[in-house]
Structure 1
Amino acid sequence: MENQFRGSGTYVASEELLKVTNIAIALQKPLLVKGEPGTGKTVLAQAIANALQKRLLIWNIKSTTKAQDGLYVYDVVQRLYDSQMGVGDIEKVEKYVKLGKLGEAFSSDEQVILLIDEIDKADLEFPNDLLWELDQMEFDISETGRTVRAKQRPIVIITSNAEKELPDAFLRRCIFHYIEFPDEGLMSQIIRVHYPDLEDAMLTQVLKAFYQLRAMNGLQKKPGTSELLDWIQALQLGGVDPACLHESLPFVGALLKKNEDIELVRRRQE
């Protein structure tokens, strides 16, 4: 099987995630990855790009994003301005057309990795508006009459934080995988990738404190992997003795991002 992803030196993936990723690549279907923040959904695409030595294109989805934005944008305002100012040849409509990330991926001479990040941030119709393009790997530019077809079918990775349900018609076209939050064993491997020289005592105490914190009732936003890695760096820079993690959580602001959560932790430590 060509283009097999076996992980990378900076990304630790479960065996199941590796298998699902390679199946999606082999079947030429988008890989839809769900999971809570901090489970490595977004950096998966970067890891695949690095491992397969392919260019990564990232389409960051916002609440205002429309499917059209990923195809192309026709700058009618600039054309009108050029017409009024007598600048350039306004009859060349093509120069006022700028391809979006999907259009760039289709136009690339070499296969690329396309990340559609946090698709659930857009409105409910957004995924359905991409069905034809993701199926047929082509779209028309109505202003010029040109059809943009994929020269090389991109490897498409789509992430979702499961904030809203995605349409069934869209789901049928994807290979789906839910990334469970790493257990202590897998998290230990992830930490070792980023901090290979971390003392065993610090690693043990950090993991214990971190998972006790995540299990605490009442937290509005549980800390994820990126917060844990930041916290470890803060502990190292602060010269914190791992033994003190039994009683307190120094630099708790590296782990928790809401005032209510920080106050909750402080009250329980009193």
Structure 2
Amino acid sequence: MTPANTASTGQDGDWRIYRGDSEPHSGLDRLPPPPPWRRFGQSGSIAGRRLGGSERAISYRANEDVVDKVNTALQLRRPLLVTGKPGTGKSTLAYNIAYELRLEPVLYWPITSRTVLGEGLYHYDAIGRVHENSLRESIPLTEAVGTTDIGRYIRLGPLGTALLARDRPRVLLIDELDKSDIDLPNDLLNVFEEGYFSIPELERLPDEQSAVSVMTVDGTGRVPVERGQVHCTAFPIVIITSNGEREFPPAFLRRCVRLVIEPPSEEQLADIVKAHLGEAAAVASADLIRAFLERSSQRDLATDQLLNAIYLATSGTRPPEAKLRDLVDAIMRPLDGAGAE
């Protein structure tokens, strides 16, 4: 069931780094490199590092239904609502679209139960601006310079950045909308319909400050906003993912193109493993892939569970066979019902 043991262990043959005997040692030096999706401190966004990000985008292969639904959403300038179980490639689709169409990096908006529309549009740091004004007032009049630049305290969110006027659209990934508060889907309707939103803090400025350069969520520089109004010229490619944990209002659904993604096949899983861990790992883990498919046909499992199990079995240090089987069982524990954490 498990790949061949090609990994090294410690001098005493023990695969473990932490031993639990309270004896200090330098075993951490034997720790293998982290999985690609757990590498920190490198260039690139958090969204690009996560499973389903840029690496899988390159090897992603969409079936005919996915291709048809994406093109329908593109032509209609409508959001694509992608529903499926965890680990089926819903988020990957957004990165694949941006990669194939040579668009700028994906704008990523993760949704929680506390997310509100305003967070996606923009953030105004009023406290920071008040603090700077207070500092300016404490400086002698002869030393004071200029006025407070309000644009330094306004940062467009993922949705706000996606709606900026541009010739080519940005890809916006709204991830796991089904986790949101009940009002958020309806709150998105007007923005999607109008392709427009306003920033009241800028609308109230005098005429001589009609154009203000604000910051964007991707940190690519400041962009001008005229009279506090943001109008899109190319409607963004909006990918909304859902694990199917709740129903959405009919008014929201009729404004989306809907796509249901089925769990990946054995061939697709092998491609995913190859993209993340290399061809050797994909070949060596054929039994694990089949075991995963058998389990996932009966219970809910996510693809990242399979990748974690394969990495443990093929990385720098590897547990003994019996121990590895137990750990693989723990990693690939079902996400639903009995046995789920």
TM-score by length of 2: 0.64
SS of equivalent to 2:262: coil
Matched, 1:150 2:232: yes
Aligned to 2:161: 104
Report the Cα offset of residue 23 of structure 1: 1.4
> C-alpha root-mean-square deviation of aligned residues, in Å?
3.0
Give 1:225's match in structure 2, choosing from 285, 303, 324.
303
> What is the aligned residue count?
247
Report the Cα offset of residue 252 of structure 1: 2.9
- 2-side partners of 1:250 and 1:71: how far apart? 43
Aligned to 1:266: none
- 2-side partners of 1:262 and 1:147: how far apart? 47
Report the Cα offset of residue 255 of structure 1: 2.3
The 1:39/1:159 distance shift into structure 2, 3 A limit, reads: same
SS of equivalent to 1:181: coil
Aligned to 2:86: 37
User: Deviation digits for residues 127-156 of structure 1, max 9, x if unmatched?
Assistant: 111111111111111222221001432111
- 2-side partners of 1:214 and 1:199: how far apart? 18
The 1:28/1:82 distance shift into structure 2, 3 A limit, reads: same
User: Deviation digits for residues 150-203 of structure 1, max 9, x if unmatched?
Assistant: 143211111111222111111111100011112334434444544433575741
The 1:86/1:239 distance shift into structure 2, 3 A limit, reads: closer
Aligned to 1:80: 130
SS of equivalent to 1:206: helix
TM-score by length of 1: 0.79
The 1:199/1:114 distance shift into structure 2, 3 A limit, reads: closer
- 2-side partners of 1:80 and 1:139: how far apart? 25
- 1-side partners of 2:136 and 2:283: how far apart? 70
- Which stretch shows the higher mean deviation, 160-169 or 172-181? 160-169
Gaps of 5+ in 1: 1-6, 264-270
Residue identity in the other structure for 1:175 = V
Give 1:196's match in structure 2, choosing from 279, 293, 296.
279
- 1-side partners of 2:116 and 2:202: how far apart? 21
Q: Which has the higher helix share?
A: 1
Q: Greater Rg, structure 1 or structure 2?
A: 2
Matched, 1:122 2:122: no
Give 1:136's match in structure 2, choosing from 182, 194, 198.
194
SS of equivalent to 1:158: strand
Matched, 1:235 2:313: yes
Report the Cα offset of residue 224 of structure 1: 1.5
- 1-side partners of 2:97 and 2:282: how far apart? 30
User: Deviation digits for residues 61-95 of structure 1, max 9, x if unmatched?
Assistant: 121110011111222222322233226624x5444
Q: Is contact 1:124–1:167 with CA below 8 Å preserved after alignment?
A: no
Aligned to 1:172: 254
Residue identity in the other structure for 1:81 = H
SS of equivalent to 2:59: coil
Matched, 1:89 2:113: no
- 1-side partners of 2:230 and 2:282: how far apart? 54
Give 2:108's match in structure 1, choosing from 58, 68, 92.
58
Q: Is contact 2:123–2:157 with CA below 8 Å preserved after alignment?
A: yes
SS of equivalent to 1:69: helix
Q: Is contact 1:114–1:157 with CA below 8 Å preserved after alignment?
A: yes
Report the Cα offset of residue 107 of structure 1: 1.9
- 2-side partners of 1:119 and 1:199: how far apart? 32
Report the Cα offset of residue 249 of structure 1: 5.5
The 1:235/1:106 distance shift into structure 2, 3 A limit, reads: same
Q: Is contact 1:34–1:161 with CA below 8 Å preserved after alignment?
A: yes
Residue identity in the other structure for 2:328 = F
Gaps of 5+ in 2: 1-55, 138-145, 204-227
Aligned to 2:73: 24
The 1:213/1:80 distance shift into structure 2, 3 A limit, reads: same
Residue identity in the other structure for 2:115 = T
Report the Cα offset of residue 47 of structure 1: 1.4
Sequence identity, in percent? 35
Residue identity in the other structure for 1:255 = M
User: Deviation digits for residues 74-119 of structure 1, max 9, x if unmatched?
Assistant: 22222322233226624x5444322111111122634211111111
